[in-house]
Amino acid sequence: MNASIRRLALAAGILFGFASPLVLAAGFTYHGNLSDGGAPAEGRYDLRVSLYADEHAVAPLGDAVTLYGVDVHEGRFSTEIAFAAAPPQDGWIGVAVRKAGGGDFVELGGRSEIAAADACWSTTGNAGLAAGSFIGTLDDKPLIMRVNNQFGAGIKTYNNPAVSIPVSFEVGQATASAARAVAFNRGLADAVDSFAGGYSAQVDAGHDRSFVWGGTNRVDRLHSTAADQFDVWADGGVIINSSALHFPTGDDLVVYPRGNGDADADVTLVSRNGNYGRMYISDTSANLNISATNGVHISNPVSIEDSLKVDGAASKSTAGAWQANSDGRIKQDIAPIDDALDTLAKVHPVTFRYTDAYRAMHPEVADQRYYNVIAQQFAEVFPDAVTKSGEYLPGATKGADNEILQVDTYPAQIVTIAAVQELAQKNAALEATVQRLMARIAKLEAKGK
């Protein structure tokens, strides 16, 4: 059987209850680790503790103190001990141990120094402690803090000469497995200079200098995907520059104005070349304003669900149509529009009101008469101008047959231009015919005279 006494536990135990590191009392709390057969000891043990003037002194400074039936759990123990006289400031402690209840004591190799100069704070405060006093270990063993014998926090060290201060810090059920990593609650931080916190966050190995917070009870962990990341998953949303007003609740990201800036809430994106895009909500007009160095471009790279949608009316500060790329150099298979009048004759414009169920889905839609076409009828004339909206009929199951259709009436506008041109041509022909008939009538009238 052998035992090892941690330097931290011995030094801290000696000074708990002392007002000054220079005055050592005879009684103190003695902490240590004990192994039995190479494994952490478990059960009750008797300890015989002796004081020595130095590490190699033959005779003790007084009678040994025997501690009977000390509880040892997972190799750790803590017990009160009192000597007849106060231990010397630079003394040493030797320990012999046996199973509780009998048998011979076995002297343990090595002694533990009583080092007042490296003492920790006492329970009465740190006033008067010598310079360099600290709470911690003098070797590479972890510093573990427990409450009710439950793990609370720990500081571990790593043999990494390339990293200054190669230690990690973990709290609760978290694990920090790299130099200068920090992990809280259930976080797993496996990269240098990383932080993982919350319930489900993990910084994977190699993703140095990353911060991941997984604040939700996810089945799968929120992992980092590269170094130098800042990742947050929060079901309750993320609030920046928060004030007492949390509106609207339930949003994913809320940005408030700075406490010492203007009252507008601003977000600005800047490219490497200095180009910028800015979005802000005006505190005075309540308008959302968007601007950029070369204008605002909204693209639809995948499907209609990714395009810009406007609920209700849209307006511009000046009259004019929306611009669209229409350069002849980017077009092929160009053909004129024939029979435009016949095509328009097939279009059936209608007036209507939206159903109550649809307006319940879109409270911004007023209960009034609107002007448009029926998508199913419009598709018979302009099939490419009718698409699926990504919304479904109120109360209906989501399926292809229940997806709401939407129309692009722009083709009808272009055909209307062609139809007007056809009418103009027919009108010109009619005018020519009328002129000829008028001339003939004039001749006939002249002959009649």
Which SS3 state, helix, strand or coil, does residue 426 take? helix
How far apart are the C-alpha atoms of 58 and 68, rounded to whole Å?
24
Contact 210, 228 (CB under 8 A): yes
Which SS3 state, helix, strand or coil, does residue 266 take? strand
User: What are the chain's domains?
Assistant: 2-118 (2.60.40), 143-233 (no CATH), 238-292 (no CATH), 334-449 (1.10.10)
How far apart are the C-alpha atoms of 71 and 91, rounded to whole Å?
26
Tell me, what's the pLDDT at 422? 93
- Helix (H), strand (E) at residue 65: strand 65-72
CA distances to 347, 354, 413 from 417, in Å: 15, 30, 6
- The arrangement of strands across the sheet holding 265-270 comes to 265-270, 276-281, 288-292
Which SS3 state, helix, strand or coil, does residue 32 take? strand
Tell me, what's the pLDDT at 24? 43
Question: Which residues face 257 on adjacent strands?
Answer: none
**Per-position pLDDT tens, the chain of length 449:** 333 333 223 332 332 222 223 334 455 667 777 888 878 889 999 999 888 888 888 888 888 889 999 998 888 887 888 777 766 666 788 888 999 988 888 888 778 776 544 444 555 556 656 666 677 777 788 888 888 888 899 999 887 777 788 899 999 999 999 999 999 999 999 999 999 999 889 999 999 999 999 887 666 788 999 999 999 888 777 777 765 555 555 667 778 887 777 888 889 888 889 899 999 998 888 888 999 998 888 776 555 555 667 777 777 778 888 888 899 999 999 999 999 999 999 999 999 999 999 999 888 889 999 999 999 999 999 999 999 988 899 999 999 899 999 999 999 999 999 999 999 999 999 999 999 999 999 988 888 76
pTM of the entire predicted model: 0.46
| Nearest of 30, 39, 56 to residue 2 by alpha carbon | 39
How far apart are the C-alpha atoms of 428 and 434, rounded to whole Å?
10
What are 243-277's pLDDT values in tens digits? Answer: 555 555 566 777 888 777 788 888 988 888 989 99
Structure tokens at 366: 């007023």
Contact 215, 233 (CB under 8 A): yes
Tell me, what's the pLDDT at 131? 64
Structure tokens at 39: 């494994």
Contact 1, 106 (CB under 8 A): yes
Q: Long-range contacts of range 282-288, CB-CB < 8 Å, 24 or more positions apart?
A: 283/257
How far apart are the C-alpha atoms of 125 and 192, rounded to whole Å?
35
How far apart are the C-alpha atoms of 53 and 216, rounded to whole Å?
57
Residue 400 CA, chain-centre distance (Å), reads 35
How far apart are the C-alpha atoms of 34 and 3, rounded to whole Å?
4
* Percent helix, percent strand, percent coil in the chain, to nearest 5: 20, 30, 50
Residue 246 CA, chain-centre distance (Å), reads 19
How far apart are the C-alpha atoms of 420 and 441, rounded to whole Å?
31
Burial code (b: 16+ CB inside 10 Å, e: under 16) for 371-395 equals: eebebeebbebbeebbbeeebbbee
